[in-house]
């Protein structure tokens, strides 16, 4: 029997795709690459606007007018920064994350639904960012020049929680979930899971069609609490079991090969490198005469730190 040739099979499949659909897919992908650059330029401009406004400096000084309150100052400055940046970025987000997806037929979500989800996510992100800031700025004060090493460990834990645990905890915030119903789709998924040696008792469906028309699945969690998550787009209309098996097998492969742990480790390394760069870059900026601590320890300078970090992230994005 001839060995399976994935390159030949892929080429054969691509020849079956309608040229119009292929051109549309290429345009979407290449446009997404350009969005990385334009989004970075916009973020740089927003960081500079917030920095020049003096908003965070006034906020920091007001909080610490009578006595030092470093934790409250860190929380407030970072939370207000994230909220302010989100407001300034909103027109771009509407285009890049909502209108563009609808124009390519990848989403049917209305503006009201998208805005509600965006506002909820922004509020949650700002509060979480403020809490993380308390930890990182405390590490700056207590560990000195090596704060970025300890902070990268914090980032590793957060990355794993975000990849493996958060999807299970917060999926129900925006979507309704239910156990996958009995039927051919569930049997096909259970068959793939059994072949891979993975327990298939936890298979849930969420109403992902509310946000996206994409045909998606994922495996989240870890040993003992792994869950196969399906969008309801995989259960509506004409069901292609071979495609379902391919999508789910791909995601189970990530789980079986511990890609979540590897990704968390990579994020920790990159975060450490980015934080080290922030420390070096902000350390080179002249300090104000009335400030005794390094600029990097000033939460009002978070726009500068963010500017350095997002530039590093852009350059290290595959």
Rounded to the nearest integer, the mean pLDDT of the chain is: 87
Q: What DSSP designation does 196 have?
A: T
Radius of gyration of the chain (CA): 23
The band of 193, judged by pLDDT with boundaries at 50, 70 and 90, is confident
**Spatial distance between the Cα atoms of 203 and 230, rounded to a whole number of angstroms:** 8
The band of 289, judged by pLDDT with boundaries at 50, 70 and 90, is very low
| Chain CA centroid to CA 95, Å | 18
Query: 177-179 and 217-220 as β-strands: parallel, antiparallel, unpaired?
Result: unpaired
What are the two backbone dihedrals, phi and then psi, of residue 230, each rounded to the nearest 5 degrees?
-120, 140
Mean pLDDT (whole number) for 30-46: 96
The alpha helices in the chain, defined as continuous H runs, are 6-15, 19-53, 55-63, 70-93, 100-103, 111-143, 147-160, 166-174, 184-195, 241-256, 259-283, 302-315
pLDDT score of 196 more than 50: yes
For position 287, what pLDDT does the model report? 57
Mean pLDDT (whole number) for 266-292: 78
Residue ranges of the domains in the chain?
22-159+270-315, 177-256
For position 285, what pLDDT does the model report? 64
In sequence order, the 6+-apart residues with CB closer than 8 A to the CB of 256 are: 196, 197, 198
For position 212, what pLDDT does the model report? 79
Q: What DSSP designation does 210 have?
A: G
**Spatial distance between the Cα atoms of 200 and 191, rounded to a whole number of angstroms:** 9
Q: Express each pLDDT in 205-236 by its tens digit.
A: 888 787 777 778 888 876 667 788 888 887 77
**Spatial distance between the Cα atoms of 148 and 271, rounded to a whole number of angstroms:** 9
Exposure of 14 in the CB half-sphere (CA atoms within 13 A): 10
Collect contacts of 138-141 with beta carbons under 8 A, ≥24 apart. 138/70, 138/71, 138/74, 140/296, 140/297, 141/70, 141/293, 141/297
Residues of the chain with pLDDT > 90, as a percent, come to 42
The class (CATH top level) of 177-256 is alpha beta
Asked whether 283 and 296 are in contact (CB, 8 A), the reply is yes
Q: Express each pLDDT in 104-147 by its tens digit.
A: 988 888 999 999 989 999 999 999 999 999 999 999 989 988 89
pTM value?
0.84
For position 312, what pLDDT does the model report? 95
Mean pLDDT (whole number) for 189-203: 80
- Concatenate the DSSP letters of all residues of 55-120 into one string: HHHHHHHHHTSSS--HHHHHHHHHHHHHHHHHHHHHHHHIIIIIIHHHHTTS----HHHHHHHHHH
Q: At what angle do helices 147-160 and 259-283 cross, to 10 degrees?
A: 150
Identify the residue with better confidence: 65 or 220.
65
Q: Sheet of 177-179: strands edge to edge?
A: 177-179, 203-206, 227-231, 217-220
For position 133, what pLDDT does the model report? 95
Asked whether 223 and 236 are in contact (CB, 8 A), the reply is no
**Spatial distance between the Cα atoms of 221 and 160, rounded to a whole number of angstroms:** 10
């Amino acid at each position: 029997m001839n060995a399976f040739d994935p390159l030949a099979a892929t080429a054969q499949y691509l020849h079956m795709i309608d040229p119009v659909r292929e051109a549309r897919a290429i345009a979407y992908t290449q446009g997404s690459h350009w969005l990385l650059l334009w989004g970075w330029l916009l973020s740089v401009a927003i960081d500079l606007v917030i920095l020049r406004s003096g908003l965070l400096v006034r906020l920091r000084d007001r909080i610490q007018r009578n006595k030092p309150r470093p934790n409250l100052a860190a929380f407030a400055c970072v939370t207000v920064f994230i909220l302010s940046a989100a407001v300034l970025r909103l027109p771009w987000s509407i285009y890049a994350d909502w209108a563009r997806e609808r124009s390519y037929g990848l989403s049917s979500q209305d503006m009201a639904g998208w805005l509600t989800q965006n506002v909820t996510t922004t509020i949650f992100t700002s509060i979480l960012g403020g809490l993380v800031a308390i930890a990182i700025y405390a590490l700056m004060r207590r560990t000195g020049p090596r704060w970025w090493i300890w902070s990268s460990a914090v980032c590793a834990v957060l990355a794993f929680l975000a990849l493996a645990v958060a999807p299970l905890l917060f999926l129900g915030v925006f979507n309704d979930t239910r156990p996958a119903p009995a039927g051919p789709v569930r049997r096909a998924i259970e068959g793939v899971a059994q072949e891979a040696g993975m327990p298939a008792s936890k298979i849930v469906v969420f109403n992902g069609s509310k946000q996206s028309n994409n045909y998606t699945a994922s495996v989240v969690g870890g040993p003992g609490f792994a869950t196969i998550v399906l969008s309801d787009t995989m259960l509506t209309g004409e069901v292609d079991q071979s495609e379902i098996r391919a999508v789910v097998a791909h995601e189970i492969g990530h789980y079986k090969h511990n890609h979540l742990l590897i990704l968390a480790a990579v994020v920790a390394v990159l975060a450490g490198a980015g934080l080290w760069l922030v420390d070096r870059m902000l350390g080179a900026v002249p300090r104000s005469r009335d400030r005794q601590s390094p600029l990097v320890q000033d939460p009002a300078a978070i726009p500068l730190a963010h500017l350095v970090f997002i530039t590093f992230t852009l350059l290290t994005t595959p």
